[in-house]
Amino acid sequence: MRKRTVIALALCGMLLAATGCRKETGNSQQAPAKNSVAMVSAAGGTPIELRYVPEGFPLGLSVSQGFALHLFETPGGNQGFKTLPPDSGHKRYYDEFAIAGRSHLVITEESTPPRFYFDENRNGNLTDDRGPFIAEKEGLLPNNVSIQIRYDAEKVVAPYRLWLFGSPMGGVRFYPVCHWQGELTIDGRSHPLVAFDGNADGDYSNDPLAIDANGNGTADDGEQLKPGDEITIDGKQVKLVAVSPSGLTVRLIW
Ligand SMILES: [Ca+2]
Ligand SMILES: [Ca+2]
Ligand SMILES: [Ca+2]
């Protein structure tokens, strides 16, 4: 767990560094609609805002398991729990959850249904965040829960829905059961765009963007673009510049 956290944070640092160093390409077809998010305006392409959909497995995209947490009955001495919610009489478990490149303290409460206290602002105080997030079903596991993740570089907080299950390898693992969806309109025809966190790390910028160019409801080979990749739709070259880590915005050139 400790090792995984360190790796995730190191990756985040690399991503931030890469974003910060990116030069304005200046060859977008039209000016960005908004300049409020510095990362969007600085990196080129035309931003398209996506909408959140709390359902998994869009367009048949593949997904990996993510590691969520262990159910420790006491807080780890060096984990940094400072302020806990008032005792509710329910059994609690303590750990941290590395998601979107950051580690967040979590209290899992075995109420009916279970509740998750998530240290969104990462200050060790579990009483000053959004939530607690209530699971969708009564039993502890398996269960679905939607959390809110803060993406500091974008200055946004975005929802993220998980399917949590106990793993035979130990601990609680998850699949993401949410995605972001939008449309790319070319010559009056609209084509579905889907951002999906297929590698289950809470960061949409490191997954392919799917464009269902042939409209068959499946992300086929050639329809899954990494940044810099191109696809031809209705005779037009479409290039993916980037997907924002939160999944809220994609930037394309066409
Ligand atoms: Ca907090
Ligand atoms: Ca990802
Ligand atoms: Ca397709």
pLDDT at 209: 98
Residues 6+ apart with CB under 8 A from 171: 67, 68, 69, 70, 71
Coil, strand, or helix at residue 11?
A: helix
State in Å: Cα 34 to ligand 1 middle. Answer: 30
Mean pLDDT, the chain, integer: 87
State in Å: Cα 240 to ligand 3 middle. Answer: 17
Quick one: which ligand is closest to 105's CA?
Answer: 1
pLDDT at 25: 36
Distance CA 81, CA 87 (A): 15
Quick one: which ligand is closest to 203's CA?
Answer: 2
State in Å: Cα 87 to ligand 2 middle. Answer: 35
- Each domain of the chain, given as residue ranges in start order, spans 25-62+181-196+205-253, 66-176
The pocket of ion ligand 2, defined by CB under 5 A, consists of: 197, 199, 201, 203, 206-207
Closest CA to 196 of 148, 243, 144: 243
State in Å: Cα 64 to ligand 1 middle. Answer: 29
Quick one: which ligand is closest to 106's CA?
Answer: 1
Quick one: which ligand is closest to 82's CA?
Answer: 1
- 32, pLDDT greater than 70: no
Q: What is the largest CA-CA distance in the chain?
A: 63
Quick one: which ligand is closest to 198's CA?
Answer: 2
- 159, pLDDT greater than 90: yes
Taking residues 156-185, report their average pLDDT. 96
Closest CA to 252 of 29, 23, 22, 35: 29
Please report the DSSP string for 87-113 in residue order.
Answer: P-SS-EEEEEEEETTEEEEEEEE--SS
**Per-residue pLDDT reduced to its tens digit, 34-86:** 444 444 445 699 999 999 999 999 999 999 999 999 999 999 989 999 999 99
| pTM of the predicted protein model | 0.83
Taking residues 149-164, report their average pLDDT. 97
